[in-house]
Amino acid sequence: MHLTIATWNINSVRLRQAHLHQLAARLKPDVICLQETKVPDDLFPEAIASELGFPHLLKRGMKSYNGVAILSRLPLTLAEDTPDWCGKSDCRQISASVESPGGPVTIHDFYVPAGGDIPDRTANEKFAHKLDFLAETRAHFLKYKPRRAVLVGDLNIAPLEQDVWSHKQLLNVVSHTPVEVDALNSWRETGFHDAIRHFVPADQKLYTWWSYRNRDWAASNRGRRLDHIWVTPDLVPALHSHEVLREARSWEQPSDHVPLAVTLAL
């Protein structure tokens, strides 16, 4: 069995429903994890899921900000026991499992706080929130010891030098500071492999996000790899292929993030 899991920061699911058809056509995923849906659960455009051939839908949203959702061709079992990160109830994680021949695979869909502009936890409470969030997720997965799990999402950190357009120029820019990179690595090292870097060597540039604040995103190409797919070691032998849908940044009225996917041969 092949299982393709896609992740995308859609930046408003109500505004970009049509793009989901393109995502499904290009990546042919079995599961789509979304972040920044920006809609309360009772206003989620549920019809889009069945239109796409994804009859199974789980969502955790709120008004205006954040929000995550999982659309699936296969039945989903919601993980009910996810923590309330930083006590904020701000809809940054939803997790579920799907059945596969070797047993269930758990999918964790995360939207990590962006962290504001100033990389200083005392001067900027959003940066403090980001670091606290990362410390809590690390502690949780240290205790939980994930198995047969895939963790995806907008983690809002580009950990490697080649994950940003200029390592030197971004060293003090939120998303690429050493303190964030260390925190993200400490979380990942609780039991995950970077599935995208399994396929793309660390010395090759790779981005999943380009700012809106650029006249010509493709020409300047000042991107960052903020979106990730991690798998537990027991799934590393199943890693079959990957795709980063760069063309999505050129879709009409695009998200500033592009979708990516990993296929597992289970």
Partner DNA sequence: ATGGTGGATACTCCA
Q: Which residues are catalytic?
A: 111, 154, 257
Question: CA 15 to CA 188: how far, in whole Å?
Answer: 32
Among 30, 31, 38, 133, binds DNA (CB under 7 A): 38
CB of 213 to DNA, least distance (A): 4
**Residue 257 in marked binding region:** yes
Contacts of residue 179, Cβ cutoff 8 Å, sequence gap at least 6? 119, 131
Q: Confirm or reject binding of residue 213 to DNA (CB under 7 A).
A: yes
Q: Confirm or reject binding of residue 253 to DNA (CB under 7 A).
A: yes
**Residue 9 in marked binding region:** yes
Q: Confirm or reject binding of residue 63 to DNA (CB under 7 A).
A: yes
CB of 90 to DNA, least distance (A): 9
Length of the chain: 266
Say if residues 223 and 248 touch (Cβ distance below 8 Å).
no
Q: Confirm or reject binding of residue 216 to DNA (CB under 7 A).
A: no
Inter-CA distances, 107 with 39, 45, 78, 170, Å: 21, 22, 10, 31
**Residue 189 in marked binding region:** no
Residues 183-202 close enough to bind DNA by CB under 7 A: none
Cβ proximity to DNA, 79 vs 114, nearer residue: 114
Contacts for 195-202 with beta carbons within 8 Å, 24 or more apart? Answer: 195/150, 195/229, 195/230, 195/231, 195/239, 195/242, 195/262, 196/225, 196/228, 196/229, 196/242, 196/244, 196/260, 196/262, 197/160, 198/236, 198/239, 198/242, 199/239, 199/241, 199/242, 200/242, 202/160, 202/162
**Residue 140 in marked binding region:** no
Among 26, 56, 126, 242, binds DNA (CB under 7 A): 126
Q: What is the DSSP letter of 164?
A: B
Cβ proximity to DNA, 30 vs 132, nearer residue: 132
Interface map 146-185 toward DNA (x if CB under 7 A): ----------x-----------------------------
Q: Confirm or reject binding of residue 119 to DNA (CB under 7 A).
A: no
Say if residues 17 and 251 touch (Cβ distance below 8 Å).
no
**Which window, 7-15, 17-25, 95-103, 135-143, contacts DNA (CB under 7 A)?**
7-15
Which stretches of the chain bind DNA, using CB under 7 A? Answer: 11-12, 14-15, 38-39, 63-65, 113-116, 126, 156, 211-213, 253
